[in-house]
Amino acid sequence: MKVQPYSLLTDFDINLFKAGKHFQLHEKLGAHLVEVDGVKGTYFAVWAPSARSVSVVGDFNYWMQGEHTLYVRWDESGIWEGFIPGVEQGALYKYKIQSHNNGIITEKADPFALYCEKPPQTASVVWDLKYKWKDEKWMKARPVTNQLDKPYSVYEVHLGSWRRNVEENRFLTYIELADELVAYVKETGFTHVEFMPVMEYPYDPSWGYQLVGYFAPTSRFGKPQDFMYLVDKLHQAGIGVILDWVPSHFPSDAHGLGFFDGSHLYEHPDMRKGYHPDWKSLVFNYGRNEVRSFLISNAIFWLQHYHVDGLRVDAVASMLYLDYSRKDGEWEPNIHGGRENLDTISFLKDFNEAVYSNFDGVQTIAEESTSFPMVSRPTFQGGLGFGMKWMMGWMHDTLQYFKKEPIYRSHHQNDITFSMTYAFTENFMLPLSHDEVVYGKHSILGRMPGDEWQRFANLRLLYGYMFTHPGSKLLFMGAEFGQSEEWKFDGSLDWHLLEYDFHKGVKTLITDLNALYKSQPALFEKQFSHDGFEWINYSDNQNAVISFIRKGDNPKENLVVVCNFTPVLRDNYRIGLPTKGKLTEIFNSDKTEYGGSGNLNPKAIKIEATSWNGREFSAKLTLPPLGITVLKIG
């Protein structure tokens, strides 16, 4: 059972790899089940240019170094490869690498492994990705249904803590989640789920953001095909799937990518660029072509083999700036004297161009917290090429506003209206994510002031404002029913809260808001355009009320939105309107089934020929306390 010379790589592959343009690298490197001259076995290929020798060690050779030594390619690519007969699916393996650098020996998991041992075990597993998909209907419609002019209401999920098996105190499996999670997301009406990182990671408290197995869904919840089954079931239920993707940093665990072949292979060799002080992790060398091929191939891999509909790219700001979390003297300016990381900018553009040129109807989403320009603008216009960007400013200002006692809100009207001054500079997604319910920040409900009724009324108002504000939406799990406590990664959500009316009412409200968002074109057709929004009145700070119009392609479907940020019931509140006719209320956060007091506008309201707010027409409404009302002009 000696290693036999064999290769899946052509000269063209090697040229693309060296140029940073090989975006199907996962089909060439790693472990691949093949048949050579009628003999079944596994072909192994690994990039280790500083190696003196590379051995495959595993349960098939008693983990003995030197039993199966790979051949180094002649073309100076630094790739070691070979075919080992008899190695079957399920075999455990690692690479034992002896470096030219003082004989350093490393033992590494396969960077391209398709499956990994369940942590804390660290070996790679020989595997294939055979699976019969049943989501043809979704995939065929996706180029239309997953575009930016369609509803995008995202439910962010951490698979290990959404719900647990109580009797056995364990994670739910991918298969179990395909029943329970899919049914729940369908019931509540979200259009997409976003999974916090599912790629293999060694340390649970990292929440998945410290990856070692970039091509392997974590074995905590099952096999690769089990995760495919979960995605498949979501698609069959009409629900899109977004994955958190982490090209920003990786851990220094001994079996991971760090110091891979006794050299700084994947990480930047200058620790001013190659080490992240906040997370104590290593940073990819975005200027190295082979690393770019690795990362972009990884993005393509999840879209291609797991039918993923979008990638949310984590910590983009940390990638873009050379001085991110660094003091003077701890970073070096770029060649132009600036703080921007030019290699990262080039890499992100290449990544987005590769994604959008290879897949119809997918989206990339940047978690980018600064004012870096044109993040979600096409690369041919000079942008980074993302489809959307998280609107961190909206999140911060809105939560700060809602934390204030209503009596003080009249003095802070600008906090709630300021977002509209820049809302259309990017394609913004409004996030209330996991980051906002940890580290002593309290839950979203826990931020709300007042007695119990007011806290829940504020929460319903916040969600109503979020769903009617321009942009797509993201809500972290538990927020949809008013989770009281901060999120805990090592437990389950507090599902028992749904036994209580106020929490049950929040879930009903979110379900209705999702239905409203999906059924009203004015809320999504122009959600990223100036043409989709018009203020009625943003300056009524005395009453802490704002009012605006949301617009779609058809003016007859325009909506009027009025928010009352105080606990005062306002009868006969007049707003200016652009046309005559009548107003019909289609949503009110004060409904009794939500836990509200039932102050509605039950009958159609006649629009009068009385000028107001600079408009020729107007109407009088009932504004519920700490409530939002949405009306249709007809």
Task: Answer for the pair 5, 68: CB distance below 8 angstroms, yes or no.
Answer: no
Question: 67, 156, 267, 314: which is the annotated catalytic residue?
Answer: 314
Q: Is 314 a catalytic residue?
A: yes
Residues whose CB is less than 8 angstroms from the CB of residue 125 and which lie 6 or more positions away in sequence, other chains included: 90, 91, 92, 93, 113, 114, 115, 116, 117, 219
Task: Answer for the pair 44, 82: CB distance below 8 angstroms, yes or no.
Answer: yes
How many helices (H) and strands (E) the chain has is answered by 14, 30
Bridge partners for 535 per DSSP: 548
DSSP string, 504-555: HHHHHHHHHHHHHHHH-GGGTTTTTSGGGEEEEEEEETTTTEEEEEE--SSG
Joined together, the tokens standing for residue 576 give 């200016």
Task: Answer for the pair 470, 433: CB distance below 8 angstroms, yes or no.
Answer: no
Q: Is 534 a catalytic residue?
A: no
Residues whose CB is less than 8 angstroms from the CB of residue 149 and which lie 6 or more positions away in sequence, other chains included: 524, 525, 526, 527
DSSP state of 268: -
> Is the C-alpha dihedral spanning 533, 146, 394, 427 positive or negative?
negative
How many angstroms separate the Cα of 516 from the Cα of each of 334, 427, 467, 503, 534? 48, 21, 9, 20, 19
Cα separation, 218 vs 216, whole angstroms? 6
DSSP state of 421: G
Question: 200, 367, 426, 480: which is the annotated catalytic residue?
Answer: 367
Local structure of 99: helix, strand or coil = strand
What kind and span of H or E run contains 355? helix 342-358
**Residue type for position 389:** K
Cα separation, 118 vs 382, whole angstroms? 43
Joined together, the tokens standing for residue 91 give 């075999």
Task: Answer for the pair 108, 256: CB distance below 8 angstroms, yes or no.
Answer: yes
Cα separation, 502 vs 455, whole angstroms? 10
Residues whose CB is less than 8 angstroms from the CB of residue 302 and which lie 6 or more positions away in sequence, other chains included: 243, 245, 308, 311
541 CB-contact burial (10 Å; exposed 0-12 / middle 13-18 / buried 19+): middle
Tell me the catalytic residues: 314, 367
